[in-house]
Amino acid sequence: MFLYKRLSPSLTCQHYYIIYDRNVKRLRIKRCVKRKGSIRMEEKNRDSYDSKYMKEAIRQAKKAALIDEVPIGCVIVYQDKIIGRGYNKRNKMGSTLAHAEIIAIQKASKKLNDWRLEECTMYVTLEPCPMCAGAIVQARIPKVVIGAMNAKAGCAGSVLNILEEKGFNHQVEKITGVLEEECRIMMKDFFRELRQRKKEKKMHT
């Protein structure tokens, strides 16, 4: 404990960091092989990489809003290329299955000619529902980047955590909060407009 205390300021320094070693159940000090600057640069690069594809998912979500569907969009990336795009078309297609993620998975699988999407990353504007989280696990997608969380139906940790369920034979790495504000506001605005329209309709009838 003393050691931890003494070294804790160095958690932010470029030379050492402290990890909890599960095997020996104690804290260990590790020398950092990279300089602080390069770690920051790596994080910055990863952030802008994630934002770039999340912006594309948001673009998809806006297409849904244009046809009065709940604005949820998704893209699947393979080797730095988008191989599947999808947006919510539940009403348009009259199908429970027409969620953005399912549509994007189908397109990506068609492109790769494989149901396994093992080297792909999914970007989705809203935390996946139980059906889509299940499909992500089934498709063996290794990583999902999420915009806004969904407290009422999300299965990447909000209601359930299907993506990281140890009982399954595949776990999905998740990154949350990428362009969260933008994704959240997009949903909020959509439902506000919907309520407004319903109100106006009631007034005119």
**Torsions phi, psi of 169, nearest 5?**
-85, 0
SS3 sequence of 39-77: HHHHHHHHHHHHHHHHHHHHHHHHHHHHCCCCCCEEEEE
Interaction between residue 146 and Zn ion (CB under 5 A): no
Under the binding rule (CB under 5 A), the answer on residue 144 touching Zn ion is no
**Least distance (Å) from Zn ion to the CB of residue 163?**
13
In the complex, what is the shortest distance from the CB of residue 105 to Zn ion, in angstroms, rounded to a whole number? Answer: 10
Q: 81 - beta bridge partners?
A: 78
Query: Could you say which of 85, 99, 107, 174 contacts Zn ion (CB under 5 A)?
Result: 99
Identify the active-site residue in 101, 173, 180, 200. 101
Establish if 129 lies at the interface with Zn ion (CB under 5 A): yes
Residue 28 to residues 3, 10, 23, 66, 180: CA-CA distances in angstroms?
Answer: 10, 13, 11, 53, 34
Q: Work out whether 89 is an interface residue with Zn ion (CB under 5 A).
A: no
Catalytic residue list contains 101: yes
Q: Which residues are catalytic?
A: 101
Which residues of the chain form contacts with Zn ion (CB under 5 A)? 99, 129, 131-132
